[in-house]
Amino acid sequence: MVPLNISDRRERLLVRAADLVLAPARLRRRPRPTTAPRSILCLRLERIGDLLMALPALAELRAAAASSEIDLVVGSWNAEIARAIPGLRRVEVLDAAWLARGGAGHSLPSLAARARRWKQRRYDVTINFEPDIRSNAIAAAAGAGWTAGFASGGGGALLDFALPFDATLHTSENLTALVREVTRGWSAKSTPANVRLQLDDEERRRAAERLADLGSPIVAMHVNGGRAIKQWPVDRFAAVARWLGERHASLVFTGSQDDRAAIEAVRSALGGTPSLDVSGVGLVQAAAIVERCDLLVTGDTGPMHLAHAVGCPVVAVFGPSDPRRYAPRGPRDRVVRVDLPCAPCNRIRQPPSRCVGHTPDCLSGVSVAAVISAIADVIGGSSGNRISTVA
């Protein structure tokens, strides 16, 4: 086991101390609803990938509570994509200071005060999909008739039902397990509907126009790893892009406006290969673009989950992240990684000091050849002959 650093230990000790103080609250737990309620409030405050991994759980909830009104609380960075999730009545926005980037976001007391104003809506059930003591406090403040979430991040005593978060399972499996516990005993459930995002015709039309001049196959590439600790070297992305160009693939580069320098570094190595930079478009338009692509090549990023949510196959380079918990799991998705005694450490927010300031060993060990092999496996060779492994 990789040792915790000082701040990890401090945070865990604080959470344990808070749980000891909150323990008497368990005596006030209320009975679970035995039928589908009138209204349900769900919290998923984390980043884009975390929200998209909740799609199967939300679909299962919708199937179990077909007549219920379901509201979802997300960070502002996810508001646009949340509105493309089928079956929701309302999307609310809360930006938590511990999740917002660039020093934005609100403190826990401020967020709890906002949640208390929702009491007037008289939610019957609140489900918190975050294993975090702070968001459990927000869920409790909303004043629903019954509350559920995870105990593992602390604050389980604030809820009427708290499920342990199993770190050996995929995140989506944990969230679905929570929904199944919440809805146990409710009326007969229908089969969950399609868990993909619901894109409107206008977004799809605009995406088709953007890609109209590109020939098939179209391969999307997301160069930015999101965090330095997850960044596969840009020059290796460039080498993969050159290989694809030599085999007559067209390339589409996704990202934010801040990614354009890295994107241009890759595009400059392509020679005459057709390519398109769509960085800076909104999340829903990015989803519509990737939906039309034959493949996305990326690191462990939000766009990886976005591609999975619209049915685009993924080749993903994983380093410190645990693919058991975060990898896309479509039939044609592929994860490329190396086995090391220390990997996956899953220490993304507080990486080991020896891995800071350079590409960590778990990523530097992932070769261009390994990624190319995965690409060929997904869209190459004998399967439709759309791309050949021979130049």
Give the integer Cα–Cα distance in Å for 360 and 215.
Answer: 36
Question: pTM higher than 0.85 for the full model?
Answer: yes
334 within 8 A of 316, measured Cβ to Cβ: yes
Find the domain containing 323 and state its range.
201-379
107 within 8 A of 96, measured Cβ to Cβ: no
Give the integer Cα–Cα distance in Å for 138 and 115.
Answer: 6
Do 144 and 283 reside in the same domain of the chain? Answer: no
pLDDT tens by residue, 30-45: 998 999 999 999 999 9
pLDDT tens by residue, 221-240: 999 999 999 999 999 999 99
Last residue in a domain, options 151, 182, 213 = 182
Tokens, residue 356 = 């800071």
pLDDT tens by residue, 229-268: 999 999 999 999 999 999 999 999 999 999 999 999 999 9
Do 121 and 211 reside in the same domain of the chain? Answer: no
pLDDT band at 129 (very low <50, low <70, confident <90, very high): very high
The residue to which tokens 């007549």 are assigned: 67
Question: Angle at the Cα of 97 (from 182 to 285), degrees rounded to 5?
Answer: 75
- Domain presence at residue 255: yes
Nearest in space to 293 (alpha carbons), one of 214, 364, 384, 377: 214
- Domain presence at residue 192: no
Last residue in a domain, options 182, 216, 236 = 182
Cis status, amide bond into 331, omega within 30 of 0: no
- Domain presence at residue 2: no
Do 169 and 232 reside in the same domain of the chain? Answer: no
Nearest in space to 290 (alpha carbons), one of 319, 264, 328: 328
**Which CATH number do you get for residue 314?**
3.40.50.2000
- What pLDDT sits at residue 24? 63
Do 143 and 217 reside in the same domain of the chain? Answer: no
- Domain presence at residue 161: yes
